[in-house]
Structure 1
């Protein structure tokens, strides 16, 4: 006797949910085994995303080289990773001082990174400097500084480990970029320019090194949302509907843990390009290609709106 039709759909939903859960558990288990013994370099490891990445890769048995601008935070991260860790399953991380704003030190830093294990399997370029201001208020020194941190630093570090990867005919370079590397937003001129430059560099690099078995990945995400937005205490003027909708989207970001997990999956599955954004930026990317005048008009209207302007400045 067959099952009543009224319970067939719920049963299928339960079965599908069970299969999906098992599939995710298998992927999670495989993600750990795939990075075991791999030499993984993480820049700005003391940031929210960097710390979450360090935890994931450390638990997976990777040989970590953690980079940061100061010893105190690096040593604190080291202690949090090694405390109660099983030495049979994990490796104690190596620490390297790296400051992309000091480009003169890059040659020595690259040599130190390479000397840690003699090779680099995965390079995760996670460092980023943000700047929100009107174009006319940004100095040339600020422009240069943000280009050093967001473009010249990651590209120089990638060039430094590249000869070793080419000789071994293997390696993976991951650029943790921003959606603003593909879509410029008002009041982010220097930031967007640096991210566009980094996107272009790593896109070119991907094509040039594919013949050597080297994978180059870019992850474009919205802003990192490490905390809940503060409540609005004072009443604000009601914006126009288009600006209000865009402003609502700007209050949503990606959690560090979510982005770190995406980085792990990108390394394991050898993805070349990942978009970790909400629907609005995706639509805007298509508008930028197909109907640029419309997108420009929407952005200009948003800047004129007082509420949206306050959120972006």
Structure 2
């Protein structure tokens, strides 16, 4: 006698969920072992995402080189990592001062990075500078500064580690970018421009170095949400304003821990391109390609609404 469908379906769901859970646990365990002994460079390691990455890769047994602009914060992160880990199973991280806003100092910083272990297996470009302002309010100096940090810094660092990767015919370069490297929204002109530029650079780099066994990955994520709860305005969009809803969804937060885990998975599975975003930003990406005029009209309407709201205050 066969079991009724109402009984079989729940059992099937439970079994499937169990298999999926076990699969994820196995993959998570294997991912840690895959980075053991690998030389991993993390830029802006003292940021929320950088710190989460440092803890993940350190526990996995990687030989970390942590980069940042402030020595005190790097030392604090060093103490945190070494105090919570077993020194018999992990390596003490190396610390390097690196400031993308000072391009002239990059050559010395890269030399110091290579002196640590003589090579780099994984480079994680995590540094970023954000900016939100109308185009007419952004000075040329600020434009150049954001391009240095978001474009010239990562591209210069990638070029610096390439010779050793090419000679060893192995390596992995990961760009932690933004979804605004694929989709520009109002009041982020300089930021979006820098993210588009660095996305294009790494897309070109990927195809150029594939023959040497080097993997280049880009992770395009939405806004990094470090708050405990999402902001109220992101929970409930203003009624009747489609543009406001789309704008809020385009910056829907991604937790640093979630992004760090995605970076680890990207390194271990050698993924080339990852979009870490909620459905609305993904839909907007398709609209940008298939129906650009419609998307532009919606975003323009959103700008008019915001200007009108400011005038009414």
Q: TM-score, normalization: structure 2?
A: 0.94
**Could you tell me whether the CA contact under 8 Å between 1:303 and 1:309 is conserved in 2?**
no
Residue range with higher mean Cα deviation, 251-260 or 124-133:
251-260
C-alpha distance in structure 1 between counterparts of 2:88 and 2:22, whole Å: 27
Residue range with higher mean Cα deviation, 287-296 or 187-196:
287-296
**Could you tell me whether the CA contact under 8 Å between 1:239 and 1:306 is conserved in 2?**
no
CA 26–229 in structure 1, closer or farther in 2 if over 3 Å, else same: closer
Match for residue 22 of structure 1? 22
Match for residue 99 of structure 1? 99
Q: Cα distance, 1:3 vs. partner?
A: 3.5
Residue range with higher mean Cα deviation, 212-221 or 279-288:
279-288
**Could you tell me whether the CA contact under 8 Å between 1:287 and 1:294 is conserved in 2?**
yes
SS in 1 for 2:172: strand
How many pairs align?
307
SS in 1 for 2:174: strand
Instruction: Kindly provide the CA deviation profile for residues 180-219 of structure 1, in whole angstroms up to 9, marking residues without a partner as x.
Output: 0010110000000000000000000001000000000000
**Could you tell me whether the CA contact under 8 Å between 1:247 and 1:308 is conserved in 2?**
no
Match for residue 215 of structure 2? 215
C-alpha distance in structure 1 between counterparts of 2:40 and 2:20, whole Å: 30
C-alpha distance in structure 2 between counterparts of 1:264 and 1:179, whole Å: 19
Q: Is 1:185 aligned to residue 211 of structure 2?
A: no
Match for residue 114 of structure 1? 114
Residue range with higher mean Cα deviation, 250-259 or 206-215:
250-259
Q: Is 1:46 aligned to residue 46 of structure 2?
A: yes
Q: TM-score, normalization: structure 1?
A: 0.94
**Could you tell me whether the CA contact under 8 Å between 1:41 and 1:123 is conserved in 2?**
yes
Instruction: Kindly provide the CA deviation profile for residues 124-182 of structure 1, in whole angstroms up to 9, marking residues without a partner as x.
Output: 00000000000000000000000000000000000000000000000000000000001
Residue range with higher mean Cα deviation, 156-165 or 283-292:
283-292
SS in 2 for 1:66: strand
**Could you tell me whether the CA contact under 8 Å between 1:65 and 1:94 is conserved in 2?**
yes
CA 260–180 in structure 1, closer or farther in 2 if over 3 Å, else same: same
Match for residue 201 of structure 2? 201
Q: Cα distance, 1:286 vs. partner?
A: 1.3
C-alpha RMSD over aligned residues: 1.9
Match for residue 303 of structure 1? 303
C-alpha distance in structure 2 between counterparts of 1:309 and 1:265, whole Å: 43
Instruction: Kindly provide the CA deviation profile for residues 30-65 of structure 1, in whole angstroms up to 9, marking residues without a partner as x.
Output: 001100000000000000000000010001000000
Q: Cα distance, 1:287 vs. partner?
A: 1.2
C-alpha distance in structure 1 between counterparts of 2:81 and 2:299, whole Å: 44
C-alpha distance in structure 1 between counterparts of 2:188 and 2:247, whole Å: 15
**Could you tell me whether the CA contact under 8 Å between 1:37 and 1:61 is conserved in 2?**
yes
Q: Cα distance, 1:230 vs. partner?
A: 4.8
Q: Is 1:255 aligned to residue 249 of structure 2?
A: no
Q: Cα distance, 1:226 vs. partner?
A: 0.5
C-alpha distance in structure 2 between counterparts of 1:265 and 1:308, whole Å: 44
Q: Is 1:285 aligned to residue 260 of structure 2?
A: no
CA 308–168 in structure 1, closer or farther in 2 if over 3 Å, else same: farther
C-alpha distance in structure 1 between counterparts of 2:182 and 2:77, whole Å: 32
Match for residue 269 of structure 1? 269
C-alpha distance in structure 1 between counterparts of 2:226 and 2:305, whole Å: 27
Q: Is 1:8 aligned to residue 8 of structure 2?
A: yes
Q: Cα distance, 1:308 vs. partner?
A: 10
Match for residue 75 of structure 2? 75
SS in 2 for 1:294: helix
Structure 1 ranges of 4+ moved more than 2 A: 1-6, 228-232, 237-241, 306-310
Structure 2: gaps (5+ residues): none
**Could you tell me whether the CA contact under 8 Å between 2:224 and 2:255 is conserved in 1?**
yes
